[in-house]
Amino acid sequence: MSSPGAPSCDNYSPRSLSGYELDHYAGRIRAVVIQLAGEEWGGQDARVMPSTAGRAGTAVTAVSDVPRHALPAVRRSVRATTTPAKLRLLLIGLVSLCLVWGAVAAWVVSQRASGANDVASTSETLSLDGQQIYRALSDADATAASAFLSGGLEPINGPPSYQADIAQAAVHLERATAAAGHSPAAADLATLSAGLPVYTGEVQTARADNRLGLPLGAAYLREASVLVRGKLLPAARNISAEANVRLAAASGRATGLPLALVLLVAAVIVGFALYSAQRWLGRRTHRRLNRGLVVASVAGLVSLLWLGIALGMARADLLQARTHGSTPVAALAQADIAAQQARADESLTLIDAQGNDSFQADFVTVQHRLGPGPGTLLTDAVTAARGSPAAGPAAAAASTATDWYGAHRTVRSLDNNGRHKQAILLVTRPGPRHSFTLFTRLDRLLASAIDADQAVFNRHAVAGSNAFIGLEVGVIVLALIMAAGCARGLTTRLAEYR
């Protein structure tokens, strides 16, 4: 039932609304339509025709008399608002991605260039200096012993070859100290700096006593040899070993694949993003190409090609420097050092004049380690030098070492049978099948092999390092061009919606 005084539902109809109420509702509908149409409707007011007969049907008809272009305008307004928003998001995303690409590429180049520079100018230099110090001191020890055996008056500072060895050791020590900085090799370099004057002082004392015919000369020489073998040579070996570890790390940093994979992944992401943006814009604008994105794509392709060529060339050169440079040089240097030690043992055995003493035992130990033979230093050096300029001299050195061992057996046979002077002549004088001649040939072959492969290392290491010149700055500039191209291309499209 209806409430008392309320109009019956049976009597309720649109005609019961007053003209005022109809105008009120028509105004509200008009306001909603104007709000939806917004600026694009051009501020045109909706026309509501006044009711002439006070009938609802007339009023409703008047409101529906709003221009028919209103709803399409509303749809266009909504669509225009959405597309610019997407364009703005695309603009921010592509510009950010291009800048991130530039940062990643520059970081990868920086890491590679740093490793290449370390290989070419620091680690290999320190390793070579350590090897040269070791070799110079070994040769000085052997030369001092041989000169002591030869007798006669000599310069107070030793023979010219001994003086040259000490001078060479001092030069390489100075260079290594400058290159090492605060690295772990600094302690061993300090040991060498402090011990080298002590060693030369003991050798001079031994020579002075020998000139005076005092037997203490041999004792001082043995003491000097113990110092160089027990303290100085291990320090030089540690320097070279520590530098080789740094060299391997730097070479890995300059040639390793993980950084290249990071760069490749970043390039794929950026390329896919630019391609997808081009396709999306093509569908939206019915234009095949966007000039700004084309510029960005070309700049990205140029940077990728530059990176690929530079990184590939640098990696090839640095691997060549390691395979046919530093690796065989290190193996050949170890063999040469062992040969120098064996030569000193041979001379010190004769100085002692006690037959098969500890120095002779050390010679036999070094001989087994030097080779040639499976797992020996000379065989490893020949294997490492295969395919490099040092291959020929290394193989000849292995053959000469065998001949030298035969000459040494002759020396020991003469000495053990009371023919001490003849044994000394074989060690200190040149001649056919003499130990002096064969060792000199062995030493020269190893030295020429080292020089040949060191030249290979220097050439390829410098070439690998030079491949990165200008690359870091170049990829940054190209990344900025990519970002500018994306910004230009998308802002041009955004301007069309204003």
> pLDDT per residue over 426-446, tens digit each?
988 888 889 999 999 999 999
Q: pLDDT tier at 108 (50, 70, 90 boundaries)?
A: very high
What pLDDT, in 10s, does the model give residues 178-223? 877 777 888 899 999 999 999 999 888 888 887 777 777 778 888 8
Residue 297 has pLDDT above 90, yes or no: yes
- Average pLDDT of the chain is 80
Residue 385 has pLDDT above 90, yes or no: yes
- Greater confidence (312 vs 74) lies with 312
Can you give the pLDDT at residue 86? Answer: 85
Can you give the pLDDT at residue 242? Answer: 85
Spatial distance between the Cα atoms of 340 and 134, rounded to a whole number of angstroms: 10
Q: pLDDT tier at 138 (50, 70, 90 boundaries)?
A: confident
Can you give the pLDDT at residue 107? Answer: 93
What pLDDT, in 10s, does the model give residues 9-64? 444 444 444 555 545 555 565 554 455 444 443 444 444 444 443 444 434 334 34
- Of 64-73, 117-126, 182-191, 226-235, give the lowest mean pLDDT range: 64-73
Q: pLDDT tier at 81 (50, 70, 90 boundaries)?
A: low
- Of 144-148, 207-211, 354-358, 427-431, give the lowest mean pLDDT range: 354-358
Residue 353 has pLDDT above 80, yes or no: no
What are the tokens at 415?
A: 């000495």
Question: Structure pTM?
Answer: 0.70
Q: Once rounded to an integer, what is the mean pLDDT over residues 347-359?
A: 76
Can you give the pLDDT at residue 386? Answer: 92
CB neighbours (10 Å) of residue 36?
16
Can you give the pLDDT at residue 50? Answer: 42
Residue 145 has pLDDT above 60, yes or no: yes
- Greater confidence (262 vs 61) lies with 262
- Greater confidence (244 vs 410) lies with 410
- Of 24-33, 264-273, 457-466, give the lowest mean pLDDT range: 24-33
Residue 152 has pLDDT above 60, yes or no: no
